[in-house]
Amino acid sequence: MKSLIDQNSLWLRARRSSLSRYLIVGGWSYIVVTTVTWALHELSGITEEGAFAAGILLALMFNVVLLKIFVFRSEKGYWETGSRFVLTSMVIRGIEFSLFWALLHHVGIYYLLASTVAMFIGATAKYLFLRAFIYRSS
């Protein structure tokens, strides 16, 4: 019996989807932030907050290029999209850090779980905002 869903068609649609590409970049970003946070805190003795801040700043540096070229495939100039992306990312990363801090200090959950929750919420908000306002095709 032939499959009711064409697997090739699903694969092509996923490859064309900015959400699929965003999840790939987001997954890589998550690995970088989590690894840097863990290494700096556990191996270097830096506070959880300092380690998380270093991780999200490192991820921000390579996300500017990856999101413009790979995810949203924007043909707009780097200055136009890059400056707005950095501003948006700084605001959202600030919200992520605040959420991380609140989960860590007020809820009392493990720092890597707090960072995961904060990054998931931030990544979802950032994708929706970037898609709607920064990299929209007009």
Estimate to the nearest angstrom the gap between the alpha carbon of 70 and the chain centroid: 14
Alpha-carbon distances of 36 from 17, 29, 49, rounded to whole Å: 29, 11, 12
Neighbours of 120 (CB within 10 A): 13
pLDDT in tens, 80-129: 666 777 788 888 889 999 999 999 999 999 999 999 999 999 989 888 88
- The per-residue pLDDT of the chain, averaged, comes to 81
In this model, does residue 36 exceed pLDDT 90? yes
Closest alpha carbon to 131 in 80, 72, 82, 66: 72
Report domain extents, the chain.
Answer: 8-134
In this structure, what DSSP letter does residue 44 have?
A: T
Neighbours of 65 (CB within 10 A): 12
Interatomic CA distance for residues 127 and 135, integer angstroms: 10
- Band (pLDDT 50/70/90 cuts) for residue 1 is very low
